[in-house]
Homo-oligomer: A and B are copies of this chain.
Amino acid sequence: MNVDLGNTIETTPGLTDETLDRLDDRVAAAHDRIVAGMEADEFGYAALTLPETTDPEAIRAVMDQFDRPAAVLTVGIGGSALGAAAISNALESDVDAHFLDNVDPDAVDALLADLPLAETVVNVVSKSGTTAETLANFLVVREAMAEAGVDWTERTIVTTGEEGNLRSLADEHGLPALDVPDGVPGRFSALSTVGLVVPALQGHDIEAVLAGGRDGMDALAGSLYESPAYAYGAATYALAERGALTNAVMPYAESLETFAEWFAQLWAESLGKDGLGQTPARALGATDQHSQLQLYRAGPPDKIVSLIRPTERADTTIPETDLDGLAYLGGSSLADLLDAEFAATEASLAAADVPNIRVEIERVDERSLGELLYGMEAACVLYGELASISTFTQPAVEWGKKAARGLLGGGDFPEADAVADKRELRIEQS
């Protein structure tokens, strides 16, 4: 992962070379703190050691108990699904990956009606084993398998903590079970069993994903000028302090669309605290040049745009044409066009003084993905250190969970009472 901060200098909001120099002393101190946390296996910091602590053999050993399936269905929500989805959706495979990460009955029914259940591996992921959405979906999936005459105990993998419902279920039915790593919040678990089971079942090279993560780990250093991940984290932090409260993440590769979702979770849930944080807005190049770019260029000066691109990609030549005024396209290629759009967007933002950062990976493959995911996690941890934020907790998420549980009759929670207090001001269509 390479990072170019050139277009954050003297923009609005913007940095100067001197800002970055001053910030670099704090980066050195934060790096020491991060390394100490990694060495002591502290909660959260442990995530940054996953490229070394994750055992791909344990994943392969479980995988080898299954014939190559037609599909993998992951039942999990939030961090239990998005890391796997970011890797899986970036890479081509003849094994389809699906994710039940919501409790929408229409979507669940439509998916189950289409899936070849007898040739599907079900991958249930919940650290606590009590996540309501995940368990409810799993109960529905299990029943659908039974109704289809499929023995669910033969086709289910569980990834969970050392104790809890899913662990008991695995013990009871002899299901293959993998451990969720200790001390790693879900949104930081892409490079563990949580993120790697699906790609492994799809035939991807998970050792290369981890090697890419190790490359990222080796590149951490006590200066933002020596570490692309820290350069990204430090610049986004400093820009947020100066008013860039939105970070629009715009990959120029459709295969990285889910990566942008994963990033949005990482950034929002880790840094959105104490009135601080930066709202991740997801965009896609070149598509969103035709819409979001208007706002980024001419709207409120409260944004940084992160332009992400692979420097190599497959290509498709555009056929020659005699269509009026389009001869210039013929003989060129779709990749040329996409690269020109990238350069045009970058220049367009710079010309309007909108700060933007270029993030490059070599190509969309296992190794580069590992590097990119690791790099953004390290960037996020650094940002949290610089902002003195509790990066690895999510207290505001817990409130809603209690309210929902109370509403469903799952216990007595004062949070549920607030629902009845809602003030109404309804405007109805007559």
Contact = CB atoms under 8 A, between A and B. Distances in A.
Given A400-B289, A427-B228, A336 B408 contact: yes
11 contacts: A2-B427, A105-B315, A135-B326, A139-B329, A264-B291, A272-B294, A273-B299, A340-B407, A344-B419, A347-B400, A347-B421
- Of A225, A285, A346, A428, chain B has the most CB atoms within 10 Å of the CB of A428
Contact of A429 (B219, B282, B289): B219
Interface in A61-110: 77-79, 82, 92, 101-110
Contact of A265 (B105, B292, B326, B341): B292
B346 A422 contact: yes
B253 A269 contact: no
Contact of A323 (B108, B169, B347): B169
Contacts of A130: 325-326
A3 B426 contact: yes
Contacts of A105: 313-316, 333-335, 338
A6 B425 contact: yes
A423 B6 contact: yes
Copies in the complex: 2
A388 interface: no
A268 B292 contact: yes
A210 interface: no
A40 interface: no
Interface stretch (A44-52, A193-201, A390-398): A390-398
A394 to B, nearest CB: 5
Interface string A141-160: 01100000000000000000
B315 A295 contact: no
A351 B408 contact: no
A271 interface: yes
A310 B284 CA distance: 28
Contact of A289 (B313, B341, B397): B397
A296 to B, nearest CB: 7
A115 interface: no
- Of A142, A269, A313, chain B has the most CB atoms within 10 Å of the CB of A269
Contact of A104 (B108, B137, B334): B334
Given A3-B427, A275-B299, 16 more contacts: A5-B425, A5-B427, A9-B423, A78-B291, A103-B341, A105-B316, A130-B326, A135-B329, A136-B318, A139-B321, A272-B299, A277-B299, A340-B407, A340-B408, A344-B407, A348-B403
Contact of A246 (B225, B246, B323): B246
Nearest to A424: B6
Nearest to A107: B254
A4 interface: yes
A316 B108 contact: yes
A319 B140 contact: yes
Interface in A314-358: 314-316, 318-319, 321, 323-326, 328-330, 332-338, 340-341, 343-348, 350-352
Contacts of A314: 105-106, 109
Contacts of A3: 426-427
A347 B418 contact: yes
A316 B298 CA distance: 46
Interface in A116-170: 130, 132-133, 135-137, 139-140, 142-143, 164-165, 168-169
A378 B10 CA distance: 39
A428 B103 contact: no
A165 B254 contact: no
Contacts of A107: 254-255
A136 B319 CA distance: 8
